[in-house]
Structure 1
Amino acid sequence: MYKVFVNDKPLFLTNTVEKETDFRMFLLESVDIEQLIVNMFNNKIQKAFLYHPDEKETLKKLKEKIPVAKAGGGLVYNKRGEVLFIFRNGKWDLPKGGIEKNEDIEDTAIREVEEETGVKGLKITQKLQKTYHVFKRNGTYRLKVTHWYEMKTDYSGKLSGQLEEGIEKVAWLNPEQIKEVLTNSYENIKLLFETVELDK
């Protein structure tokens, strides 16, 4: 099952029919996706399921209904086992950004981390899960698919947030601090941390 976040509310892509309780269920084939997204953005729907009988087809079908933006990001550890976070729009987040023409997604992830935080000497150590969320740009809703990579660095220099991206703070956080900042982060970031072990 895939989980797509719309304004931090979950939209599940599923191949099982469940009895509705606290959510709405729609058929992926026939749903008016824009209307559903608008309702979720406007808090009329808190949680929804999109049903399609073939689980492998669910994401593909959704991508046919909404433009896709591909992004790369990093979960970066330093030598002390701290993780690199950025603070923007009032929330803690991880550095990430959109792919450029003819760029490999791994290169996107490294470039974006460098640009957004000033951290250099990044090495990808493993591929993490992808996350999905819907955002609006120039009046159009898009599905952002972010490819996440675990990275390591020995960098101990100055951190500098990319101002034109609205980044107010960049910080190395230890596992205790991470637990705290995740209470003021995005659902996708929380999801990512459910699958990684801190205290590396």
Structure 2
Amino acid sequence: MKRYRIYINDNTLYIAATAPELATEIQQLEVQEFNFQSFYKKISKVSGKSFLLMDADPKALFQKIKKSCLIIKAAGGLVSSAKSNYLFIFRNKKWDLPKGKVEKGEKMKQAALREVEEECGVKIYTNEEKLCKTYHVYTLGAKIVLKKTNWYRMTVKGEPKLIPQKEEGITKAIWLSKADLAPIVANTYPSIMDVLEAGRLLEQRIL
């Protein structure tokens, strides 16, 4: 059964047929009365909370939420070098992975490759399978945006020097081994944690 996880600031909304097994407390919401726009406004001042919409058809419920938002598509990459290190960037005071918006007429996979090459000054050797999709919500003027990001596994030849795209607010671009991810985990976005789990750099959570 399909399950969804939507990030709103550092809060999480789960949409699933069964409750996830979480270490933290989760608040179940009433599906019949649920309005995503109202919910978003209510939790804009809440931090670090988990919420659950439990329904026999989570996909239909997720589609209903999508229709109430402006959808923006983005794509990015988890890039590994020949030395088995991984590419990370530092932007807006947090560790991140290279990604960006999909341009008109562009395929998601092509956008991912273009964004990684532009943001880090590298040439991608292979652009492989899709690792996962992540969803997060933010406001753009008066509209509530649901951003869908497709993430792909990529490789480079050797371990090239990285050139961070400073005009995009990227102040650092570095290679890190799987054993050196503690600083990343301590200061990154929940959606990036999902990508690291999908890439088997971290242990998989239940949902």
TM-score normalised by structure 2 residue count:
0.85
Equivalent positions of 1:15-54 (< 5 A) are: 15-16=17-18, 22-27=26-31, 30-43=33-46, 46-54=49-57
Q: 4+ residue runs of structure 1 moved beyond 6 angstroms?
A: none
**Paired residue secondary structure (2:109):** helix
Check 1:80–1:17 CA distance in 2 against 1; reply closer, same or farther (3 A cut).
Answer: closer
- Cα distance in 1, alignment partners of residues 7 and 41 from structure 2: 13
* 2:184 alignment partner in structure 1: 181
| 2:65 match: secondary structure | helix
- Distance in 2 of aligned mates of 1:45 and 1:73: 25
Aligned to 1:82: 85
Which of 165, 169, 182 is the aligned partner of 2:168? 165
Number of residues of Structure 1 aligned to a counterpart in Structure 2: 196
Matches of residues 23-172 of structure 1 in structure 2 within 5 Å?
23-27=27-31, 30-43=33-46, 46-154=49-157, 156-172=159-175
**Cα distance, 1:83–1:182 mapped onto 2, change above 3 Å:** same
SS class of match (2:53): strand
In structure 1, what is the Cα distance between the partners aligned to 2:113 and 2:133? 16
TM-superposed deviation, 1:16: 4.1
Q: Which moved more, 1:37-46 or 1:100-109?
A: 37-46
Inter-partner Cα distance in structure 2 for 1:179 and 1:45: 20
Listed as ranges, the gaps of 5+ residues in structure 2 are: 202-207
Q: Taking structure 1 as the reference length, what is the TM-score of the superposition?
A: 0.88
Q: Please say if residues 10 and 48 of structure 2, whose CA atoms lie closer than 8 Å, have aligned partners that are also in contact.
A: no
The answer to whether the 8 Å contact 2:17/2:54 transfers is: yes
Aligned residue type for 2:6: V
Q: 1:155 deviation in Å?
A: 5.4
Aligned-partner Cα distance in 2 for 1:127–1:44: 30
Matches of 1:14 and 1:159, distance apart in 2: 40
Runs of 5+ in structure 1 lacking a partner?
Answer: none
SS in 2 for 1:34: helix
Q: 1:108 to 1:44 in 2, by over 3 A?
A: closer
Provide the secondary structure at the position in 2 that maps to 1:101: coil
CA distance in 2, matches of 1:24, 1:45: 15
Checking the alignment, whether the CA contact within 8 Å between 1:7 and 1:40 is kept in structure 2 is no
